A and B are shown apart, each in its own frame.
Chain A
Amino acid sequence: MLAVEETHTALELSSGWFMENAWLIALIPAIGFALIIGFGKKMPFKGAEFGLSSMAASLVIATGAGIQWIQRTDSASPGGEEALGGLFTGVRGAVRAAEGAEAAPYIEPVVTQWVWWQNSGLEFGLGSHIDGLSVLLLWLVAFISLLVQIFSLDYVRGDRRYTHFFAALTLFSSGMLVMVMSSNMVQLILGWEIMGLCSFMLIGHWWEDAYNSHSALKAFFTVRVGDVGLLIGTAILYFGANDFAVNTLDSNGFDIRAIGAWALSGEGSSWTLLMASIALFIACIGKSGQFPLHTWLPDAMAGPTPVSSLLHSSTMVVAGVFLVARIYPVFWEGFNIASGGLSFIAVIGGITIVIAALLAFVQDDIKKVLAYSTVSQLGYMMLGLGTGAWLPAVFHVFTHAFFKCCLFLCAGSISHSGSHHSFDMKKDMGGLRKKMPITFWAWIVSTLALTGVIPFAGFWSKDEIIDNVGANGYTVLFWVGLGGAALTAMYMTRATYLTFFGEARGAAAGIHHDDGGHDEYATEHRETLITAATIDRELVMAGPAPQSLGAAAATHESGDRGDHRDDHDDHGDDHGDHGDHGPHESGKLIVVPIVILAFLALTAGFANPTPLAGDALGANLGEGVELIKTYVEPRYEPVFVDETAGHAGESVQLIDASTLPAVEDDGGEGKSDDGKAKCGRGTPEPGTVCYFPNVKHAVPELGKILLSLAVVAIGYAAAIGFCIAYYRNRNSRLVGLTERSRIARGGYLFLKNKYYLDALYQNVFVFFVSRPLAKATYWFNQNVIDGAVNGVGAGGKATGNWVYKYIDQGLVDGAVNASGKAASETGHGLQPMQSGKVNQYGALLFGAATVGAIVLVILNVS
């Protein structure tokens, strides 16, 4: 009895100001946005100071919240164990021995919220919900946003919509922060939609060019297609979970924790959960650029580079992954991940890894290579989440943000200072290694991190995903992941070679084709299908053309050069002064964020180096090094619900009598068997709820690590060999292969045209919608709806006329006029009596009195 009491009250968790006021993290950038819009143009830095300072303030609070969350988790572990007494200690020991994991108690999140609006007893909160996952993402978003804004100071300096750029960037971060800290689905949708809007604004930042505004629209509409799923899924979850949430947890069906608890309680039907999971995952496909809705992401490159960087690292595309990670119990049960079912998420993730990586091979635009790389890496995250590897997937979000942000900023730095606003690797880059050493080394570090080379950040996370996928029994997907890693190494090598090695071409060699600036970038990348005829031009560009271009430049040096210079002076108004127009290293404001991110790309992996925690690499540092696992992954221990304890003594008796020994037995035996714990692998005991399933963690092995490293090394070796043979030595067997071999040409065209997905969407869906469907709709609209509307209108008009003529004019006006006329006539009739003569008045008075007296007398007499 006493022990039971203690289990309810034992967890004295520490809290803190930062965690309780974490809502400020999202509110401050929102206020910053309002200030920039309101006063930005009048400020000395055109509003950038508001953006930067709000992001810095958010970062400070997020850091504080993170530290306090760590303290909270620490305060639970030893204290909780003592309070629980000897009863559970044996279980703990068994668990640790069996799985090497800390079966620590569930840590309650810190929730601060206010009622946003309420309707018939249903309350929607708006506030913050702080647990490990949200703290990690809050810090990450604030940090990356701050660095990107610092980078933007120089990068978009002198832009025509500089202030609005910072406003949208700040609101964008704010939207992500709102979403990350949401404790209910309604707030989550709010943040989700803010981001959708801001991505539209930022991608279409230079909307004067039609391509950019088309890209913005494409991104917006493609994501909207998926967003329908989010609304449907939220509705399904609400109707499924509401009763459980109200009865058991005193919340409602929009509360994220309640939804998770409901999903794991076994009360919902598997059909409901499956439908909700599919609907929600469709939203994630749209937002996180998964196959087949990934097509908007590469076009989103039309926006300024800082936007691409922010969009692809910590906001927007991560939102879909975050959604899956946040309401993981729903997907866990819905797709039956516990029993190793081949889930929709994992399949989509696996497909995305491969198709996006293949597409990255045929891109000439450095940003598009990175965009497809992001799509591919998001596929890894989804693959991890879909196969039960929650922790590695979330960890990959964390590490990926650093190196992908760094790669994009490097691309921005190159275009800013190296290739004169061009992103075309074949035309305007090459040989930049010596000219831009800092950018080059940051790029190399991030590339190594992206491709998963030990000890860079990507290795620890991506390898963990692949390892866990294999360990959870998905052999095919395991090999897909490994193959994807090799492909990653290959396309990154190609991009690196074309950018930094070989001959300097085009702008990198100091030649400027024209001075369209950003417009030039846009016009180069029209959405057209590439035919066999255009391949020749492509190959010429990649081949000996640089030399001839260089020669052309040399001959025109005396003549055209002057004109170019003049153009540049005009151009300088837009983009600040570039000093020397040849390639050079970027300024401090650009280089410093890149260096910080490159440093983190090197080190961030040590936040959770799982192989170091075991014996796999020969250095057993213990579980303490797995920081993400300890502090971010929610604990899967069931939680006693207050309601049961709040009732009479008999329920406590019930727990004392039956439940508690059951917990001990079940836990002791089950877990020591095969990690079979209660949560997520069976219904929780009565009186308890689970908030997170018991995900398994693979134990790293040296063999698997060596295998994945070998795969990456083979990828590198093959790609380097190919690059040298093809781009430098012009190997005759390789050059022109696409012209000689029908298969090679077909494959190249297939990839170059992005699997014809855009063509499919454009020509089939859009065509169908725009032609027959639109015509049918138009006809229906004109003839049926308009007919009905017109009929109603005509009927209304006729009725109105009739009413006007007869009722209004005849009856109402007649009555009014008649009464007026009557009054007027009476007045005129009586007017002569008002003679103004007092004597006459007196006579009338007495006459009237006489008449009255006579009447009185007659009445009294008779």
Chain B
Amino acid sequence: MLAVNFLLLAAVLFCIGVFGVIARRNAVLVLMSIELILNAVNLNLVAFALMNNNIEGQVFALFVIAIAAAEVGVGLAMVLMIYRNRKSIALDELSEMKG
């Protein structure tokens, strides 16, 4: 009962994050969507740790939060540079990586 609620919340958050990554054009919003996905995972980790009475899940969640912070730092720096060069952070205009 308790676990299902946590997992459902996490699944909803994950789906919202995935939708954001795929659908949004704004780079900042894409980064925020990625954060949503990561936090959905964190929620799962903490929930399972609580269920199994095992601290390792919570420790892992802390790691994910730390890595996510770093990732957002790098991502925002890139977005900032893109903005400086192009005066825009619209991702559909960034097609230089086309192979």
B contact residues around A836 at 8 Å (CB) = 94-99
Neighbour of B22 across the interface among A831, A834, A842, CB < 8 A: A842
Neighbour of B98 across the interface among A835, A839, A843, CB < 8 A: A835
A contact residues around B98 at 8 Å (CB) = 834-836
B contact residues around A838 at 8 Å (CB) = 27, 30, 91, 94
A contact residues around B21 at 8 Å (CB) = 839, 842-843, 846
B35 CB to nearest A CB, Å? 14
Contact across chains for A837 and B22 when beta carbons are under 8 A apart: no
Tally chain A residues at the interface, Cβ within 8 Å. 11
- Nearest B-chain residue to A832, judged by Cβ: B99
A contact residues around B97 at 8 Å (CB) = 834, 836
* Beta-carbon contacts under 8 Å, A807-862 to B: 831, 833-839, 842-843, 846
B98 CB to nearest A CB, Å? 3
* Beta-carbon contacts under 8 Å, B1-48 to A: 18, 21-25, 27, 30
* Beta-carbon contacts under 8 Å, B57-78 to A: none
Q: Report the Cα distance A836→B92, complex, angstroms.
A: 8
- Nearest A-chain residue to B33, judged by Cβ: A842
Q: Report the Cα distance A843→B30, complex, angstroms.
A: 12
A contact residues around B99 at 8 Å (CB) = 831, 833-834, 836
Q: Report the Cα distance A270→B97, complex, angstroms.
A: 96
B contact residues around A846 at 8 Å (CB) = 18, 21-22
- Nearest A-chain residue to B14, judged by Cβ: A846
B73 CB to nearest A CB, Å? 18
Q: Report the Cα distance A842→B18, complex, angstroms.
A: 8
- Nearest A-chain residue to B24, judged by Cβ: A839
- Nearest A-chain residue to B99, judged by Cβ: A834
Neighbour of A837 across the interface among B18, B24, B27, B95, CB < 8 A: B95
B77 CB to nearest A CB, Å? 16
Contact across chains for A839 and B30 when beta carbons are under 8 A apart: yes
Q: Report the Cα distance A24→B60, complex, angstroms.
A: 88
- Nearest A-chain residue to B25, judged by Cβ: A839
A contact residues around B30 at 8 Å (CB) = 838-839, 842
- Nearest B-chain residue to A844, judged by Cβ: B22
A contact residues around B27 at 8 Å (CB) = 838
Q: Report the Cα distance A389→B92, complex, angstroms.
A: 116
B39 CB to nearest A CB, Å? 16
B contact residues around A835 at 8 Å (CB) = 95, 98
Q: Report the Cα distance A836→B23, complex, angstroms.
A: 15
Q: Report the Cα distance A836→B91, complex, angstroms.
A: 9
B91 CB to nearest A CB, Å? 5
- Nearest B-chain residue to A838, judged by Cβ: B91
- Nearest B-chain residue to A834, judged by Cβ: B99
**Given A846-B18, A846-B21, is A839 in contact with B95 using a C-beta cutoff of 8 Å?**
no
B11 CB to nearest A CB, Å? 12
Contact across chains for B91 and A843 when beta carbons are under 8 A apart: no
Q: Report the Cα distance A839→B92, complex, angstroms.
A: 8
Q: Report the Cα distance A523→B98, complex, angstroms.
A: 92
Q: Report the Cα distance A835→B95, complex, angstroms.
A: 7
Q: Report the Cα distance A831→B98, complex, angstroms.
A: 9
B94 CB to nearest A CB, Å? 7
A695 CB to nearest B CB, Å? 101
A850 CB to nearest B CB, Å? 9
A contact residues around B24 at 8 Å (CB) = 839
B contact residues around A834 at 8 Å (CB) = 97-99
Q: Report the Cα distance A843→B27, complex, angstroms.
A: 15
A849 CB to nearest B CB, Å? 9
B contact residues around A839 at 8 Å (CB) = 21-25, 30, 91-92
Centre residue among A831, A833, A834, A842 by max chain B CB count within 10 A = A842
Centre residue among B18, B25, B27 by max chain A CB count within 10 A = B18
Q: Report the Cα distance A831→B23, complex, angstroms.
A: 22
Q: Mark A720-763, 1 if CB is under 8 A from B, else 0.
A: 00000000000000000000000000000000000000000000
* Beta-carbon contacts under 8 Å, B76-99 to A: 91-92, 94-99
Q: Report the Cα distance A810→B99, complex, angstroms.
A: 34
B86 CB to nearest A CB, Å? 14
B20 CB to nearest A CB, Å? 9
A555 CB to nearest B CB, Å? 111
Centre residue among A833, A835, A837 by max chain B CB count within 10 A = A837
Q: Report the Cα distance A107→B50, complex, angstroms.
A: 110
Q: Report the Cα distance A835→B99, complex, angstroms.
A: 7
- Nearest B-chain residue to A849, judged by Cβ: B18
Binding site for A on B (CB under 8 A): 18, 21-25, 27, 30, 91-92, 94-99
19 further interface pairs, Cβ-Cβ under 8 Å (given A835-B95, A836-B94, A843-B21): A836-B95, A836-B99, A837-B92, A837-B95, A838-B27, A838-B91, A838-B94, A839-B21, A839-B23, A839-B24, A839-B25, A839-B30, A839-B91, A842-B18, A842-B30, A843-B22, A846-B18, A846-B21, A846-B22
Binding site for B on A (CB under 8 A): 831, 833-839, 842-843, 846
List 14 A-B residue pairs with CB atoms under 8 Å apart, sorted by A's residue number.
A831-B99, A836-B95, A836-B97, A837-B94, A837-B95, A838-B30, A838-B91, A838-B94, A839-B22, A839-B23, A839-B25, A839-B30, A843-B22, A846-B22
Sort A-B residue pairs by CB-CB distance and give the 8 closest, nearest first: A834-B99, A836-B98, A836-B95, A836-B97, A842-B21, A843-B22, A838-B91, A846-B18
